[in-house]
Amino acid sequence: MFVARSIEKHLKRMLGLFPLLSLTGPRQSGKTTLLRNVFTDYKYYNLERPDQRELIMEDPMGFLNSAGHKVIFDEAQNVPALFSYIQVVSDERNTAGQYILSGSQSFLMNERISQSLAGRVSVNHLFPFDINELPGVGERDICRLIFDGFYPRLHGTGIAATDFYPSYIQTYVERDLRSLKAIGDLDSFLRFLGLCAGRTGQVLNLTSLANDTGISVNTAKTWLSLLEASFILFRLQPYHKNFNKRIIKSPKLYFYDTGVACSLLKLTNADMLRTHYLYGALFENLVIGEIVKCLSHSGRRPSVYYWKESNGTEIDCILETAGNEIFAIEIKGGQTYSSDYTRNLKNFQGGGINVHKAVVFPGESSAIASGVKLITWKNIPGFLREIGGYQ
């Protein structure tokens, strides 16, 4: 069963403005399913199929002219030469909505686009389900949701997370990484992945990460870039507005999907999370990831950061909105509200910027305490709508 995705409205609008549209995201995030179900008037070609690649490259200009102006090229990065021909044809036609280019390898797609199609393409990302898209999410146990993650196939087929993610990670290593860059020691890379999962929500110390893996710092930098380019993890940057205080300048590590992180941590069931030392970090990862996904699926570039002073004062999430204002958000894993939840928020000043303060926690309902919004994790999309960040 096809589940409507939040990004559909934005993609349709972009197709009315740009001659080309690109859609990237992690493997099995639902890109092909979305494109084939929503854009039914577009012809579809899968460029992972050798026969379709051969058909196109025998006579690229002839193919593009005969195919018409509504075509989807899935895994388009597999035919690099095609991008130059698309540039010529789309410029000659000079109409919106001609081609949709989809792929799971953002690094290669962006490289092809920047070489041939810069300025002609609306660039978009589709991630696994966000909270608003997952049916019955409000009735789900928070530990089960963190453990299962949000990949559409897992929820659509009922496959167990313990079966899905090990195969997913293995496929990622064998297919995507080897095509992006040769990694000589796969065992070291998998160990590196696991160590990244163990540092979820922590300030990144590259030297420590490299030493624990047994690799150089430069190799660690390269591997992190590969993991970001293939949408496995991302680095949350510190907020750069200097309020005349010493702030931590290194990013934090988060995974785009908590199910991947749980699998890398060797968790075998959701109940293990309830007493796991990383439960708080994984709940924080879920909330940060949902904010990033919801904003991206609405066509907005996420302006999401964290704040940490050298004296230890920390705000888990700083969200910039239009105008001279920010939202300072603390993320707490306990279901019962405590006055400690707002301590750092009370001490945080915006240095002349209008600051709104909120706490996201796994409670059953939202409220207001001491002038601070308490937001249940289930209402993240609603909160973002209120501040104009989500459709």
- Taking residue 106's Cβ as centre, other Cβ atoms within 10 Å add up to 20
Let me know: does 256 contact 289? Beta carbons within 8 Å: yes
Report which secondary-structure segment, H or E, holds 74: strand 71-74
Q: Which residues contact 94 (CB under 8 A, 6 or more apart)?
A: 19
Compute the mean pLDDT over every residue in the chain, rounded to the nearest whole number: 88
Residues 338 and 376: their CA atoms lie apart, in Å, by 14
Q: What is the SS3 assignment for 67?
A: helix
Nearest CA among 248, 238, 253, 254 for reference residue 206: 253
Report which secondary-structure segment, H or E, holds 45: strand 43-46
pLDDT in tens, 212-234: 999 999 999 999 988 998 899 99
pLDDT of residue 266: 96
Whose tokens are 């978009």? That residue is 124
More confident residue, 81 or 241: 81
Domains in the chain, start-ordered, CATH in brackets?
8-125 (3.40.50.300), 137-386 (1.10.10.10)
- Over residues 378-384, the mean pLDDT reads 88
Confidence band, pLDDT 50/70/90 cuts, at residue 382 = confident
pLDDT in tens, 175-198: 777 666 667 788 889 999 999 999
For the CA atoms of 191, 28, 104, 171, the dihedral, rounded to the nearest 10 degrees, stands at 40
- How many CA atoms lie within 13 Å of 183's alpha carbon, on the beta-carbon side? 25
pLDDT of residue 342: 85
Axis crossing angle, helix 82-93 with helix 60-67, rounded to the nearest 10: 40
**What's the token pair of residue 92?**
């000659």
Q: 169-194 b/e with 16+ CB inside 10 Å = b?
A: beebeeebbeebeebeeeeebbebbb
